[in-house]
A and B are shown apart, each in its own frame.
Chain A
Amino acid sequence: MASPRVAVVGAGVIGLSTALCITETCPRCSVTVLSEQFNPNTTSDVAAGMLIPHTYPDTPIHRQKQWFKETFTYLFGISNSAEASEAGIYLVSGWQVFKSTPKEELPFWSDIVLGFRPMSEAELQKFPQHRFGQAFTTLKCDCPPYLLWLEKRLKAAGTQISTRKVADLWELHSEYDIVVNCTGMGAHQLVGDKQLFPVRGQVLKVHAPWVKHFIRDGDGLTYIYPGMHRVTLGGTREKGSWSLSPDPGTARDIFDRCCSLEPSLRGAQGIEVKVGLRPSRQCVRVQREVLRQGGAKLLVVHNYGHGAGGFSVHRGTAKEAAHLVEECISALQGSSSRAKL
């Protein structure tokens, strides 16, 4: 197969990074990104992009650790280069604080982030309602800059990028050899995955440039993540809610919770409210599948269901998906040479 035609459906962080990995592992592939939404209107644009992993209950820990490590290493290299500001990647230090001591004192990722250690008594004084804490340095991935940067690299690699709503993967059968499904929450409808469910997250984006640290309550519900231009204040985890409309009562509640962690936020300006649906699943679906209809078959690689942890593992899962695409290509070449006999 001279130039396998690959369609990547979805242009959030997963779609774009998967497409980029495919151009890297398979330079002779012709890659096209198709998506209904692009930055700044993807779920990724709502997320703060902090590299603090979410734990998937049904994915083996070593695999999650490998994904996170690959992602961290990749972004770490960018953060220390001249491209860092364009890509929106940089280091941030801060604290994860707990009202009661967590059962797991050392999360699986503690040796991947930098300088991980328990907070001192003096540091905990800043959080009178919390009794235990962890200090560390990690990376932040600002969107839209990161998505724009990925798009720029894709275009340089010859990738076509088009706005298109794909209602059925079979639509792509005649034009493409392999379809990569990075549709996030869209996979619920597109491939009928009932194991995929939304976890609604509402956030505020505020102007508070004196906030230089992240602060996160270990319960995952309240967090403060400083971006280049705005600080993301969160949040909510509403399992099963599909509503994309901002809720004013929730907004006030988020603001109050964040102000109790960081009182100086009372002076924040320019509050914007955003909502995203985390595409959640017990395990991330990075998997090959062969769809059949009549006598036809369609090779699909899935890469969706990253829930609250998309940014943290995006590069690791993108690389895995790109390897699966390679396997698909080998399978196609195998069957085409068989067909020639």
Chain B
Amino acid sequence: MRVAIIGAGVIGLSSALCIHEQFHGLVPSLELQVYADHFTPHTTSDGAAGLWQPYLSDHGNLQETLWNKETFDYLLSHLHSPAAKEMGLFLISGYNLFTEPVPDPSWKNIVLGFRNLTPRELEIFPGYSYGWFNTALMLEGRSYLPWLTNRLTQRGVKFFHKKVESFQEVSGDGVDVVLNCSGMRAGDLQPDPELQPGRGQIIKVLAPWVKHFVITHDLKSGIYNSPYVIPGSEFTVLGGIYQHGNWSEENSAKDHKFIWDSCCRLLPALQKAKIVAEWSGLRPARPSVRLERESIRLGNLQAEVIHNYGHGGFGITIHWGCAMAAARLFGNILQEKQQLASPPGPRL
């Protein structure tokens, strides 16, 4: 049973690991192959700050809220394990700021210690009159992706550096299942007008005195279009750009100025922070995550494709719940294939 995974970002690697963990014991012939044009540290996941936090509203998408919760709980259970440091996993607390009262988010009971900000806390942030404080998790892509890669390599999973142009390319040669974790490039494999880039730009700085995340919200301009500051284990990420439909991966001077000026206004101490890097990436945005099976006829072969893409700006936040859902779909495929094969014993 050969499985080809397209994409080596957080979605591709974690789906591969989840499937291998669950099924390699049941399916001795299970062979996983990861195909990608970009590997860590050059994936979209590597550019993300790595903060676990869903969007403000799930738009009634309870399935996604459940996947977010599964991811948080899974990560929390690893917090005290010796692997945590290597995974780039640690607790972090911080602030979400608003200019007006807002309803509590879908994730208020998933994170730890969720509460409203007190008046004295709001004094820290002039211009914001309402907010939340909570403790969440950081999962840094530049550590997590290598950790996933190591776990997969230990399990005998093979990696191939190539840009896959079609499902055919990987589905011949005895591959039974294709996992489509191609993120922003899923449209190249199969047109999907619902998948659009949500372009982001970030500035990485040295600011080791920043111990909290600070995320501001401007309900009129939409998610991530308002300054945010997220401290990592080495660098602090400054951001606040979300441009729907913009495919450019070039850093923009105008966006740089917006990020820098607005973050320094938010946290004046940042004026002395040293800039070390700048990066632009495309969030694979979609009204909802595409996580479903599809049978694809390729010549005289039939391949099962499991789509797992369109995680927007919350890929890290939702990744494990989606990986487990993808593994369940894989399990369904296995069951169906066994029914099609000759039964193990006589049937009445």
A91 within 8 A of B: yes
Given A80-B124, A93-B93, A267-B85, check contact A86 B272 (CB 8 Å).
yes
Residues of A within 8 A of B113 (CB): 119-120, 122-123, 135
Report the minimum CB–CB distance from B330 to chain A (whole Å).
Answer: 32
Report yes or no: A82 in contact with B233, Cβ–Cβ below 8 A: no
Residues of A within 8 A of B118 (CB): 114-115
Size range of the chain B interface in the assembly: 35 or more
Given A90-B269, A267-B85, check contact A213 B91 (CB 8 Å).
yes
| Interfacial residues of chain B within 236-282, with CB under 8 A of chain A in the complex | 267-269, 271-273
The count of residues in chain A whose C-beta lies closer than 8 Å to any C-beta of chain B is 37
Residues of A within 8 A of B88 (CB): 210
Report yes or no: A84 in contact with B268, Cβ–Cβ below 8 A: yes
CB closest chain-A residue, reference B124: A80
Report yes or no: B271 in contact with A82, Cβ–Cβ below 8 A: yes
**CA of A266 to CA of B267, assembled, Å:** 32
B209 partner, pick from A85, A137, A263, A267, beta carbons under 8 A: A85
B195 within 8 A of A: no
**CA of A71 to CA of B268, assembled, Å:** 20
Report yes or no: A80 in contact with B84, Cβ–Cβ below 8 A: no
Report yes or no: B268 in contact with A82, Cβ–Cβ below 8 A: yes
A81 within 8 A of B: yes
**CA of A86 to CA of B209, assembled, Å:** 10
| Interfacial residues of chain A within 102-158, with CB under 8 A of chain B in the complex | 114-115, 117, 119-120, 122-123, 126, 135, 137, 142
A271 within 8 A of B: no
B121 within 8 A of A: yes
Report the minimum CB–CB distance from B345 to chain A (whole Å).
Answer: 47
B211 within 8 A of A: yes
A92 within 8 A of B: yes
CB closest chain-A residue, reference B269: A84
Report the minimum CB–CB distance from B302 to chain A (whole Å).
Answer: 47
Report yes or no: A91 in contact with B211, Cβ–Cβ below 8 A: yes
Residues of A within 8 A of B234 (CB): 209
Report yes or no: B115 in contact with A115, Cβ–Cβ below 8 A: yes
Report yes or no: B209 in contact with A209, Cβ–Cβ below 8 A: no
B205-244 CB mask vs A (1 if < 8 Å, else 0) is 0011111100000000000000000010110000000000
Report the minimum CB–CB distance from B272 to chain A (whole Å).
Answer: 5
| Interfacial residues of chain A within 218-267, with CB under 8 A of chain B in the complex | 226, 228-229, 263-264, 266-267
CB closest chain-A residue, reference B84: A264
**CA of A211 to CA of B85, assembled, Å:** 10
Residues of B within 8 A of A91 (CB): 124, 211-212
Residues of B within 8 A of A119 (CB): 113
B92 within 8 A of A: yes
**CA of A119 to CA of B82, assembled, Å:** 25
**CA of A231 to CA of B36, assembled, Å:** 39
A212 within 8 A of B: yes
Report yes or no: B211 in contact with A212, Cβ–Cβ below 8 A: yes
Report yes or no: B121 in contact with A80, Cβ–Cβ below 8 A: no
B80 within 8 A of A: yes
Report yes or no: B85 in contact with A120, Cβ–Cβ below 8 A: no
CB closest chain-B residue, reference A263: B80
Residues of A within 8 A of B121 (CB): 114-115, 137
Report the minimum CB–CB distance from B199 to chain A (whole Å).
Answer: 29
CB closest chain-B residue, reference A84: B269
Given A93-B93, A114-B121, A115-B118, check contact A82 B211 (CB 8 Å).
no
Given A84-B209, A115-B115, check contact A126 B79 (CB 8 Å).
yes
Given A120-B112, A137-B121, check contact A85 B91 (CB 8 Å).
no
A79 within 8 A of B: yes
A210 partner, pick from B85, B93, B133, B135, beta carbons under 8 A: B85
B347 within 8 A of A: no
Report the minimum CB–CB distance from A291 to chain B (whole Å).
Answer: 43
**CA of A271 to CA of B88, assembled, Å:** 21
A316 within 8 A of B: no
B→A interface (CB under 8 Å): 79-82, 84-85, 88, 90-93, 112-113, 115, 117-118, 120-121, 124, 133, 135, 138, 207-212, 231, 233-234, 267-269, 271-273
8 A-B residue pairs with CB within 8 Å: A84-B209, A85-B272, A90-B209, A93-B133, A115-B115, A122-B112, A137-B133, A212-B211
- Given A80-B269, A88-B209, A263-B82, 17 more pairs with CB closer than 8 A: A80-B267, A81-B269, A84-B272, A85-B269, A91-B211, A115-B118, A122-B113, A126-B80, A142-B209, A209-B208, A210-B90, A210-B233, A213-B93, A228-B208, A228-B209, A264-B79, A264-B85
Pick the 7 closest A-B CB pairs, nearest first: A84-B269, A267-B85, A90-B209, A210-B90, A210-B233, A228-B208, A263-B80
